[in-house]
């Protein structure tokens, strides 16, 4: 099976993060030949350091990476894929669609949608949509949290490896040493803080500084790191220490290392789509900052997720987590909500394990996609 996967990097790293994970999994676990078309190789290099942004075509981890430019290179019949994936609201070039349409044995065309917990996606998942001019039709494929969707990205053995890391102090120490954080194990509380801008963050950080618990806050490079550097000038060196609080700025790291970071921390603040999925496989308490949309439409999506995620939680846990998520997503001071969150940490940890077990019972996104594609291609070829 050959697959062309198109990815447009919009304004953050979630798009390329998801596409890169999917491309590797299709190749590693399903032995597909994958070509990943990416329009921004500089951003891609941040999460895959071996990428050379100057090359039009290169092999990375057995995936062919091609630079998606305004004018595509000449396409030949020998390049015809079995499956074409249009990922996360990008638009495949018209010239490529015309090339697809010219084949008698046409590739299958999938539109990989954004993650959603809203119930309406159940009725839209796997539905076909004919092209208005060309003899092509594409199918909508929705990631999600139920069996009526395409599921979530989850590599074989991922959860077991993260559990082992979380339960083994020696492995954690090795991980922190690899990051150059030689004193990380000295902190009683470690928080990963991956977020968009947060206007009301300072009172919460002051609360952490004044607590009796020593806290290490780890902030990946990005807008929030820039904002915090403006609040605390010492962070220009990559480190800020004040009473019980230490903040460190982290360089971009390869995706497997980020997954390990989540497993080694006690609490994970995550943003967008890719990192919230990884936080659920890490199994630790997490707070999700959903990708912002006009007119606060993202809060409806957040509420839909919390409704599913917290269905089996106690009423106290539901109130605590809903209030904390809402305050964080509205860029408000979360000091009060976070203090309550700490009181429920043990119960939330147990709840997350049950939620994780529920998700693991479902098939992963890549396997669902492979099964769907192979069935459709077999049907179409038998019919023709």
Could you tell me if 164 and 123 lie in one domain?
no
Could you tell me if 229 and 376 lie in one domain?
no
Q: Is 90 exceeded by the pLDDT of residue 379? A: no
Candidate list 15, 82, 227, 274, residue with the active-site label:
15
Rounded CA gap, 172 and 166, in Å?
7
Could you tell me if 169 and 276 lie in one domain?
yes
Q: Is 160 a catalytic residue?
A: no
Could you tell me if 58 and 190 lie in one domain?
no
Q: What pLDDT, on a 0 to 100 scale, did the predictor assign at position 45?
A: 93
Could you tell me if 111 and 127 lie in one domain?
yes
Q: Is 119 a catalytic residue?
A: no
Could you tell me if 224 and 368 lie in one domain?
no
* Residue pLDDT, tens place only, 63-114: 999 999 999 999 999 999 999 999 998 999 999 999 999 999 999 999 999 9
Q: Is 90 exceeded by the pLDDT of residue 382? A: no
Could you tell me if 138 and 279 lie in one domain?
no
Q: Is 70 exceeded by the pLDDT of residue 11? A: no
Q: What is the mean pLDDT of residues 293-319?
A: 91
Could you tell me if 260 and 376 lie in one domain?
no
Number of domains into which the chain is organized: 2
State pTM to two decimals.
0.94
Mean pLDDT of the chain: 94
* Residue pLDDT, tens place only, 170-196: 999 999 999 999 999 999 999 999 999
Could you tell me if 273 and 217 lie in one domain?
yes
Beta bridge partners of 254: none
What are the E-state strand segments in the chain?
2-7, 33-38, 57-60, 63-67, 83-87, 108-112, 128-130, 137-141, 189-193, 215-220, 239-242, 245-250, 267-271, 286-289
Q: Which domain, by its residues, includes 89?
A: 2-152+363-383
Could you tell me if 183 and 321 lie in one domain?
yes
Q: How confident is the model at residue 12 (pLDDT cuts 50, 70, 90)?
A: low
Could you tell me if 9 and 142 lie in one domain?
yes
Q: What is the mean pLDDT of residues 40-52?
A: 94
Rounded CA gap, 42 and 55, in Å?
11
Could you tell me if 238 and 306 lie in one domain?
yes
* Residue pLDDT, tens place only, 230-271: 999 999 999 999 999 999 999 989 999 999 999 999 999 999
Q: What percent of the chain has pLDDT over 90?
A: 90
Candidate list 273, 274, 337, 364, residue with the active-site label:
273
Asked whether 218 and 191 are in contact (CB, 8 A), the reply is yes
What CATH number is associated with residue 20?
Answer: 3.40.50
Q: Is 60 exceeded by the pLDDT of residue 384? A: no
């Amino acid at each position: 099976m050959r697959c062309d996967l198109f990815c447009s990097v919009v304004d953050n790293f979630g798009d390329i993060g998801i596409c890169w994970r999917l491309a590797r999994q299709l190749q590693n676990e399903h032995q597909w030949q994958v070509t990943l078309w990416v329009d921004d190789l500089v951003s891609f290099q941040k999460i895959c350091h071996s990428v050379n942004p100057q090359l039009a075509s290169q092999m990375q981890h057995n995936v062919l990476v091609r630079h998606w430019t305004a004018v595509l290179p000449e396409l030949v019949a020998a390049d015809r894929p079995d499956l074409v994936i249009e990922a996360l609201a990008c638009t495949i070039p018209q010239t490529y669609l015309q090339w697809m349409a010219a084949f008698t044995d046409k590739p299958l065309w999938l539109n990989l949608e954004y993650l959603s917990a809203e119930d309406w996606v159940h009725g839209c998942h796997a539905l076909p949509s004919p092209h208005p001019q060309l003899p092509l039709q594409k199918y909508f494929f929705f990631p999600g949290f139920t069996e009526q969707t395409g599921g979530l990205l989850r590599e074989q053995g991922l959860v077991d490896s993260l559990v082992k890391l979380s339960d083994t102090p020696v492995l954690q120490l090795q991980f922190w040493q690899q990051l150059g954080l030689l004193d990380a194990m000295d902190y009683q509380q470690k928080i990963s803080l991956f977020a968009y801008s947060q206007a009301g963050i300072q009172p919460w950080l002051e609360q952490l500084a004044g607590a009796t618990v020593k806290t290490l806050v780890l902030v990946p490079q990005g807008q929030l790191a820039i904002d915090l550097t403006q609040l605390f000038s010492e962070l220009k060196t990559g480190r800020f220490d004040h009473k019980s609080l230490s903040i460190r700025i982290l360089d971009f790291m390869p995706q497997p290392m980020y997954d390990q970071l989540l497993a080694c921390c006690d609490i994970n603040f995550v943003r967008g789509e890719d990192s919230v999925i990884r936080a659920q496989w890490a199994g630790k308490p997490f707070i999700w900052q959903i990708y912002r949309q006009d007119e606060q439409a993202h809060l409806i999506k957040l509420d839909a997720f919390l409704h599913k995620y917290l269905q089996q939680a106690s009423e106290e846990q539901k109130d605590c987590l809903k209030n904390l998520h809402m305050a964080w997503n509205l860029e408000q001071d979360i000091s009060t909500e976070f203090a309550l969150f700490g009181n429920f940490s043990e119960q939330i940890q147990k709840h997350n394990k049950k939620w994780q077990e529920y998700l693991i019972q479902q098939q992963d996104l890549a396997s669902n996609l492979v099964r769907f594609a192979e069935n459709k291609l077999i049907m179409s070829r038998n019919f023709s």
